[in-house]
Structures are given as C-alpha cells and as structure tokens.
Copies of this chain bind each other. A is one copy, B any other.
Amino acid sequence: MPIFKPIQESEAEGKVKEIYDEIKKVRKITAVPNFWKNIANDPKELERTWSSLNEIMKKGVLDPATKELIYVAVSITNGCEYCIKSHSLAAKKKGATEEMLKEMFSVVALANKNNKLVDSYQVEVDEIYK
C-alpha cells in the first residue's frame, strides 16, 4: 500500500486534472500511471516533476532512447523496481532495442564492479584526470 491514497483521475481537479490530461496526450496512453497519481497528493511536486521530466527527457543532443537508457542505468544502481520497469518500457517505446538494453545492463554491472575496485584499492586520481 502506498503512503497516501493515489488521486484517481475521477477525483482530479484544477492543475492536477490539467497535468493528467497532458500526460495522457503526450504519452499517448489512456490511463495515468501510478507514479503521477501518487505524487498528485502534492500538486506542486507533481507540477515540478512533470515539467522538469518533459524538459530533460525530450530530444536534445542526446536522443530520447539514449536518455531513457541512462535513466534506467541510474535506477538499476539505486535498485528502484518501479523506475526500472516503467523506464525500460519507455526506452523501448522510444526506439531502444532489447539488444541495447542488454548492452546497457552489462555496462551498469561493470561500472558498479569497477567503482568498488577503485574504493577497495583506494586508487589515487592520476594527474591527467585532474
């Protein structure tokens, strides 16, 4: 059970309803996902989060699929099940193939391993990296 009762679409009003409509339109989906229905308990956080997500995840010098892969890589490192599942799906919708996901998984595993080897041996930063 979530900490707060999710705000259902039928209960949404004002700014929350507006954002719910936008989410469904932009994402081309027919139901608002739980993430948004939970944080709608705090309408300002909903607004901040939706607006920054749109701004950051849209096409830039990196394409949307690459951005989603990076998002999933972070979510794996943090062990966030909801985030891994929802953004893996988003990555695929935006053009990432299953092969891309699997290659990303191996990079994430390797980076986590090597990050810890650096901590184990207490490796000092080389002059050229400073």
Q: How far is the CB of A71 from chain B (nearest CB, A)?
A: 5
A14: Cβ under 8 A from any B Cβ: no
Complex: A130 Cα to B74 Cα, angstroms: 20
What's the number of copies of this chain in the assembled complex?
A: 6
Knowing A100-B61, A111-B70, say if A76 contacts B3 (CB, 8 Å).
no
Taking CB as reference atom, which chain B residue is nearest A86? B129
Docked-complex contact A83 and B114, CB < 8 angstroms = yes
Within 8 A of B (CB), among A34-54: 34-35, 38-39, 41-42, 44-45, 48-49, 52-53
Cβ–Cβ < 8 Å partners of A73 in chain B? 70, 73-74
Q: Are B3 and A85 in contact (CB under 8 A)?
A: yes
Measured between alpha carbons, how far is A79 from B55 in the docked complex, in Å?
Answer: 25
* 0/1 interface trace, chain A 67-89, chain B, CB 8 Å (1 if under): 10111011111111111111111
Q: Which residues of A contact B (CB under 8 A)?
A: 1-4, 31, 33-35, 38-39, 41-42, 44-45, 48-49, 52-53, 55-57, 60-62, 66-67, 69-71, 73-89, 97-126, 128-130
14 sample A-B contacts, Cβ–Cβ < 8 Å, listed by A number? A3-B85, A33-B126, A49-B114, A56-B106, A62-B103, A67-B107, A70-B104, A76-B120, A78-B79, A82-B118, A83-B118, A85-B125, A109-B116, A112-B115
